[in-house]
Structure 1
């Protein structure tokens, strides 16, 4: 694991330059404690797998494909694909879970139908817990929910609803971390969801929160 000095530099770059990749990778290493052995086996072939993502190129794909919808999600929210500094590449290869967890986060949003609100982020986190990736994620799950509710108390019901929905999806789906999304940008999202066991009843992408979450938000007077 990187030393304290490297952690400090990563977070300094995040706050001063907006460079999120290094900080996200090192944070994901902490989440990787107690990684599920079965998950680790599936990730061995992805240890050095880190293709560059070109949002402009993906934007040219047909609407409804994974690549197109991912690019729209990133551009709409002002997010850039995560870049890992050269000095951390070896670190990333030693920790395939941390690398894969980092680079797939925004792809999960698209596939699961969760937006980038607090309820949406909680939905994605709940999914990772349902997938049983690591003991660390399972342990901090209640704490993350509590923190989100403290930050957005008026959205508490939506946060809990999204967490439950995400966890349920995670329990029924194949291991998403092991799927090579970067080789399937041109495929329809519906086909990928079907292949991975992601049953989204409302079939929403990222245009609005899923119906269960939207209903709760509406009841609480939050515009959706």
Structure 2
């Protein structure tokens, strides 16, 4: 009980301090995010892998590069990169899935062409569930299918469309959770999508 209380306290402290990477991984760890053994095996390539993401540096990359597209997405949506503090190395090594899923969430938004609305979020969730990252994501998707149209009825049609699109992309694409995206910031994003099997992505466009 005491250990669980410490975990909860650490989650709220990370959020209060604006350490959103720490908050994300601690929250996943608290709720016991688990993966099947075959998924854990596919994540061996990213064990202990959480390089610092410097958004200021990525904004200097040419238009059309993966890094620039990611940095622009983060800036436009007032998001911060989910960097992990050194003191959480034990949590990171113990729960590779929690770490990698938290860090790559916004990367998936960019690569899959989904915005940050409810419709966009269900697209990313549907993709992750279709790729069989964990049973908990499949449960979350079922809840989202029920709740999101209620929370955002004006997005109902797009929610349904993105659900189908996310599932379709998830079936065709490579297993992406174990991919070292951070080593490909300078690549043209369309070439990266093609190499990952995301050939049918139509990026969303923000209105000025």
For the criterion TM > 0.5, the same-fold answer is: yes
Task: List per-residue Cα deviations over 1:113-154 (Å, max 9, x = no partner).
Answer: 001111011111111011111111112211122222221122
Match of 2:22 in 1: 22
For the 8 Å contact 1:31–1:137, the answer to whether it is kept is: no
Taking a change above 3 Å as real, the CA distance of residues 32 and 6 of structure 1, as seen in their structure-2 partners, is closer
TM-score by length of 1: 0.84
| Counterpart for residue 52 of structure 2 | 52
Instruction: Report the aligned-residue RMSD.
Output: 2.0
Unaligned runs of 5+ in 1: 209-222
Q: Do the aligned partners of 1:31 and 1:134 also contact (CA within 8 Å) in 2?
A: no
- SS of 2:67's equivalent in the other structure is helix
The answer to whether the Cα contact below 8 Å between 2:22 and 2:85 also exists between their aligned partners in 1 is: yes
Equivalences for 1:110-189 in 2 at 5 Å?
110-189=110-189
Shift in alpha-carbon separation, 1:163–1:11, aligned structure 2, 3 A: farther
Residue among 201, 205, 208 paired with 1:207: 205
Name the residue aligned to 1:91.
91
> 2:174 touches 2:197 (CA, 8 Å); kept in 1?
yes
Check conservation: 1:112, 1:124, Cα contact below 8 A.
yes
**Aligned equivalents of 1:185 and 1:31: distance in 2?**
31
CA distance in 1, matches of 2:49, 2:98: 12
Alignment of 1:107 onto 2:107: yes
Alpha-carbon distance in structure 2 between the residues aligned to 1:90 and 1:36: 21
Give, in angstroms, the shift of residue 31 of structure 1.
Answer: 6.8
SS in 2 for 1:84: coil
The C-alpha deviation readout for 1:83-138, integer Å capped at 9, x for no partner, is 33343221111111111101001110110000111101111111101111111111
The separation in 1 between residues aligned to 2:28 and 2:61, in whole angstroms, is 30
Q: How many residue pairs are counted as aligned between the two chains?
A: 205
TM-score, normalised by the number of residues in structure 2: 0.90
Partner SS, residue 61 of structure 1: coil
Contact 1:7 1:23 (C-alpha < 8 Å) held by counterparts: no
Q: Per the alignment, in what secondary structure is the counterpart of residue 200 of structure 1?
A: coil
Offset at residue 57 of structure 1 (A): 0.9
Task: Write the distance in 1 (CA, Å) between the matches of 2:126 and 2:88.
Answer: 28
